Amino acid sequence: MADFALPGLDPTSDRPVFKQIADHLREAMNGSALPPGSKVPSESQLMTHYGVARMTIRNALQLLQSEGLTVAEHGKGVFVRSRPQVRCLASDRFARRHREQGKAAFIAETEESGGKPSVDSIQISEQEASPDVAKRLGLPAGQSVVVRSRRYLINGHPVETAISYIPSHIAQGTQITHPNSGPGGIYARLEELGYRLDHFDEEIRSRMPLRDEVKALKLAPGIPVFHLIRTAYADDGQAVEVCDTVMSSDAYVLSYQLPAR
Amino acid sequence: MADFALPGLDPTSDRPVFKQIADHLREAMNGSALPPGSKVPSESQLMTHYGVARMTIRNALQLLQSEGLTVAEHGKGVFVRSRPQVRCLASDRFARRHREQGKAAFIAETEESGGKPSVDSIQISEQEASPDVAKRLGLPAGQSVVVRSRRYLINGHPVETAISYIPSHIAQGTQITHPNSGPGGIYARLEELGYRLDHFDEEIRSRMPLRDEVKALKLAPGIPVFHLIRTAYADDGQAVEVCDTVMSSDAYVLSYQLPAR
């Protein structure tokens, strides 16, 4: 069959046959037998090896796909999923020294790690804040906010969508309302406007993606997303921006430092 | 059918019929028509409403289940999933003032939020550190570590499994090797031993659960996990513990504070 050996079925096990087969393939992927990008044995090969019906093999392969371990390529077969370049988000990524170098965090970090960053789908509008955004910004309900939405890509592959909400009374008439927000991004602009940034709060959830998110991030089946909501606070305690982002869990490791004192 | 109205199919759409049906049900769940815990209309009701084959309805329901939105109860039907109590992890959760109150972070936080915390499956052993754990602890390969594994539950429902690794030369002969690690947990014990804690680094990934994790955390289909690896550092820069945890994404919102300065 392949140039590696799969074990046989355990007839004494009460574990369903398709799960036993998935277990064997999963083990081969965790070891060196089936590395990322390699082709999983075909349905026919697996039927012959295990002596079971095609539907049983399909159920096993379906299970692996739902776990995000494999990708089916139409007409070519099933492959062990290759992972995209992972971006590690450090907890000092929004420190002033980075802003002062004139690059937004995403651009600077991706370049540092040898990837090619890009941003597309930039859209800017002015809207009434949703109750949740108004609450996070400490605004009365229905206040107007400038909304900047965009998509981030690494080496041409989308990894994150983000929507920033900035109170209109802060952003109106500034470069924050332009597609190109200038060197250092909107955080540098906010500081120039006198909103000296003090800290950010980030709230992280994980869940399966919605339909539009699968499309925007070109997610393979079985890949969850991080849903991260960040609020930026100026040093007078005022919230000056809320950023709502959805990130492919595949492309990110988040890292944070917590105080122990 | 139900006491709410589903729209009809859009014959001009190029979106497959089962996805259109899933869209309608998803919208009903996002609104007030199908709240958590409520019963989704039956296959037969949906077949009649849409005038489509049973397989089409099943595909739509399967899609919603894979998104973690519904749960099938054998012989009873399909229900909108109720979410367990969510535990918000604050970025000061390991601050000394909490330890000094004599409670481990999990117990203190769960009680504060009105839930009933418990811990089970406590196992303690001594092992050779894996290359990854040794690297995080700054130990030479093959050094011995004390391994504490346990499972956390809220109101009897499992939400997290955790494995701590502490260098044997620190933990041996101390209460850290006992199932009950005493008031304030192992971080309090480490401080009593003279390892004054300075900070923790946390690394967060999100992915679909492995088979054993689905069992241990009783995860519904379509629910990813957070995989969090925390390293505790003493104030001389030495790493004194690595904690490897897997958390139901359903039961947690993680929150962190980042510096802007």
- Coil, helix or strand for B178? coil
Q: Amino acid identity, residue A246?
A: V
- Coil, helix or strand for B91? coil
Model confidence at A155: pLDDT above 90? no
- Coil, helix or strand for B40? coil
Q: Which residues, in sequence order, are CB contacts of A133 under 8 Å at separation 6+?
A: A145, A165, A242, A244
Q: Which residues of B190-208 are buried (b: 16+ CB within 10 A; e: fewer)?
A: bbeeebebbebbbbbbbbb
Residue of A199, A225, A261 with shortest CB distance to B260: A199
Q: What is the mean pLDDT of chain B?
A: 89
Please state, as a whole number, how many other Cβ atoms lie within 10 Å of the Cβ of residue A97: 8
The pLDDT, as a whole number, for residue A63 is 86
The pLDDT, as a whole number, for residue B84 is 63
- Coil, helix or strand for A250? coil
Query: Where residue B2 falls among pLDDT bands split at 50, 70, 90?
Result: low
B253 neighbourhood in chain A, CB within 8 Å: 203-205
The pLDDT, as a whole number, for residue A102 is 72
Q: Which residues of A touch B (CB under 8 A)?
A: 19, 23, 66-68, 91-96, 187, 197-208, 210-211, 222-226, 230, 232-233, 249, 253-261
- By CA distance, what is A211's nearest residue in B? B23
Whether residue B203 and residue A253 make contact (CB cut-off 8 A), yes or no, is yes
Residue of B66, B204, B205 with shortest CB distance to A66: B66
The pLDDT, as a whole number, for residue A85 is 63
Which domains are seen in chain A, by residue range? 17-80 (1.10.10.10), 87-255 (3.40.1410.10)
Strands A197-207 and B144-154: unpaired
Q: What is the mean pLDDT of residues A23-52?
A: 90
Q: What is the pLDDT of residues B201-223, one digit of tens each?
A: 999 999 999 888 999 999 988 89
The pLDDT, as a whole number, for residue B164 is 97
Q: What distance separates the 2 farthest-apart alpha carbons in chain A?
A: 73
Model confidence at A1: pLDDT above 60? no
Q: What is the C-alpha to C-alpha distance for residues B91 and B102, in angstroms, rounded to an integer?
A: 19
Whether residue B259 and residue A67 make contact (CB cut-off 8 A), yes or no, is no
Q: Note whether B231 and B154 are within 8 A (CB).
A: no
Whether residue B260 and residue A187 make contact (CB cut-off 8 A), yes or no, is yes
User: Considering just the CA atoms, what is the radius of gyration of chain A in Å?
Assistant: 23
Closest to B60 measured CA to CA, from B106, B102, B95, B25: B25
Query: Where residue A243 falls among pLDDT bands split at 50, 70, 90?
Result: very high
The ipTM, to two decimals, is 0.75
Q: Which residues of B touch A (CB under 8 A)?
A: 19, 23, 66-68, 91-96, 187, 197-208, 210-211, 222-226, 230, 232-233, 249, 253-261
Q: What is the pLDDT of residues A159-218, one digit of tens each?
A: 999 999 999 999 999 999 999 998 888 999 999 999 999 999 999 999 999 888 999 999
Q: Tell me the DSSP string of A166-225.
A: EEHHHHTTSGGGSSS--TTHHHHHHHHTT--EEEEEEEEEEEPPPHHHHHHHTPPTT--E
Q: What is the mean pLDDT of residues B153-177?
A: 94
Q: What is the pLDDT of residues A208-226, one digit of tens each?
A: 998 889 999 999 888 999 9
Cα separations in angstroms, B110 against A202, B89, B115, B152, B256: 21, 10, 5, 10, 18
User: What percentage of chain B has pLDDT greater than the value 70?
Assistant: 97
Query: Where residue A24 falls among pLDDT bands split at 50, 70, 90?
Result: very high
The pLDDT, as a whole number, for residue A69 is 84
Q: Amino acid identity, residue B127?
A: Q
Regarding predicted confidence, which is higher, B50 or A257?
B50
Whether residue A261 and residue B198 make contact (CB cut-off 8 A), yes or no, is yes
Q: What is the mean pLDDT of chain A?
A: 89
The pLDDT, as a whole number, for residue B259 is 83
B208 neighbourhood in chain A, CB within 8 Å: 66-68, 222-224
Whether residue A205 and residue B19 make contact (CB cut-off 8 A), yes or no, is no
Regarding predicted confidence, which is higher, A95 or A58?
A58
Q: What is the C-alpha to C-alpha distance for residues A229 and A242, in angstroms, rounded to an integer?
A: 7
CA atoms within 13 A on the CB side of A119: 17
Whether residue B260 and residue A201 make contact (CB cut-off 8 A), yes or no, is no
Whether residue A92 and residue B200 make contact (CB cut-off 8 A), yes or no, is no
Q: Which residues, in sequence order, are CB contacts of A2 under 8 Å at separation 6+?
A: A33, A41, A45
Model confidence at B170: pLDDT above 80? yes
- Coil, helix or strand for B152? strand
Model-wide pTM > 0.80: no
Lowest mean pLDDT, pick from A199-213, B62-76, B155-169: B62-76
